[in-house]
Amino acid sequence: MQTRDDDWTSYMAIRAAWLSFVGGRTQGEIASQLGVSPAKVHRLIAHAQKAGFVKFQVDGRPMECLQLEKELTEHFGLTNCIIAPDLGGGDDDSALRAVAVSAAQFLSGMLGGSNVTRLGVGMGRTLTAAVEALPKVARTDLEIMSICGSLTRTLAANPYDIVQKMQERTGGIGYYLPVPYFAENQDEKAMFLTQRSVQDLMDRARQSDAFLIGIGSVENEGHLVQRGMISKKEQEDLLSGGAVCDLMGRFLTIEGKLAPDPLGDCAVGLHFDEVRGRRVIALVGGESKVDATLAALRTGVITDLVADETLARALTARAGLQLAQSA
């Protein structure tokens, strides 16, 4: 019965989307034609967008964004750099929306080809938003591999794990890494890594054709703190040790070096050095991530970057300041 209800909702959502975006009808007109309330029409159109039935794309970016892309590409030796235009909100949520749309277009193009048949994926808010904005792509041959522990320390599912969402968008096969993002200690981590299933999944993840990751911070707004994946004491220790970035569970200083903190040694998943020299696509949004992004880029691991205009401006200024000080 649930399947029938879902099918009917999708049918109505698609019809409402056609009437709205192609037919140019108002919600009141659509409501009369479909025999539902205007509020129901609003929900149907929202469902069509969230389910990926509606594909929206703006070709091209403003000249200022193209210049930022050029500067960042040259300075950090990137293969691709996409800067999403400022939406005028002046907050991280607006930046996240802009990056999500730009990243979705980029990923749609990448997955539209056949070069990537196995994609290693991290987790985070920006990645989640990008996959939610991704239109449906028929890639039943695609393997989506988690490259870090898919669970919290309490063994709860992480809401920012994107394996299932990516599977829904592509029709591919998703593989979770059924361990916490951080083990309680190195002994527990060693125990997890002795499990044959974990070893096999990590071996397969290492062989991915490309890797899609986020860039995390250790500040209060970072998802590690927001989701309780690290304790307040651990956060304080990281900050006092100069950590500004979480890159695949390892913590970096502003110079792009590993921070002297034992928590990173408890991360269960691939180390960023294991993907060095491969295609590594990083998505990041919000000016608050400027130090984290600079640290991540300085590792030399990232090949492709999708970020927002405000962050990119802050990043070029921050990098320029660092260069001026070290000259």
Query: Domains of the chain (ranges plus CATH)?
Result: 1-53 (1.10.10.10), 61-317 (3.40.50.1360)
Q: How many whole angstroms separate alpha carbon 49 and alpha carbon 23? A: 16
Mean pLDDT throughout 20-45? 91
**pLDDT recorded at residue 5:** 66
- Residue 56 neighbours by CB distance under 10 Å: 11
On the question of pLDDT at 292 being above 70, the answer is yes
Q: Which pTM does this prediction carry?
A: 0.83
**pLDDT recorded at residue 56:** 66
The pair of three-digit structure tokens given for residue 10, joined into one six-digit string: 């999708």
**pLDDT recorded at residue 4:** 63
Question: How would you classify the pairing of strands 80-84 and 304-308?
Answer: parallel
- Summarize pLDDT for 115-125 with one digit per residue, the tens: 999 999 999 99
- Residue 142 neighbours by CB distance under 10 Å: 22
Mean pLDDT throughout 11-37? 89
Q: Report the Cα 196 to chain-centroid distance in Å.
A: 28
**pLDDT recorded at residue 237:** 93
Percent of the chain that is helix, strand, coil (3-state, to 5): 50, 15, 35
Q: How many whole angstroms separate alpha carbon 246 and alpha carbon 249? A: 6
- Summarize pLDDT for 137-175 with one digit per residue, the tens: 899 999 999 999 988 777 777 778 899 999 999 999 999
On the question of pLDDT at 321 being above 50, the answer is no
Q: How many whole angstroms separate alpha carbon 178 and alpha carbon 134? A: 25
Q: How many whole angstroms separate alpha carbon 292 and alpha carbon 107? A: 23
